Structure 1
Amino acid sequence: MADELGTRGRFANINPLTHYIAIVREPLLNGQVVMFHWWLVLAMTLVGTVVTFGVFARFRRDLIFWL
């Protein structure tokens, strides 16, 4: 998808949402998802999960006051 956009494709590859959408979109269009998207989505999900747990562990006691 980003290859067809030219210069704008570089910015599309930086956007994490592009890869999540590609996993849903590409099978509908041509039936096959590039493994690059799967690996990148897996890495972003794992990093996001680790960061989320780290922030939660740090601010666990303060969370009740923020809600």
Structure 2
Amino acid sequence: MREFFRKWWDGEFIPHKNEPNSAVFFVGGTDKRHWTANRARWAVSFYLREWKWVIGSVAAVVGRSS
């Protein structure tokens, strides 16, 4: 299960395409992630940046509805 989650979270690395007989060589590539992994990364980074406001807002909503 851990390996499945890691593969989903990291995505697939796609290296740059290089011509075999070219004098120019590109190093690197891009990560192709599933759209749900992109949304999860956004939510986690938002929470880590704004945890003070998220916890306060949730506490206010829960306290108000009780």
TM-score (norm: length of structure 2): 0.33
Higher relative contact order (CA 8 A, sep 6+): 2
Higher helix share: 1
- Between structure 1 and structure 2, the one with the greater Rg is 2
Structure with greater strand percent = 2
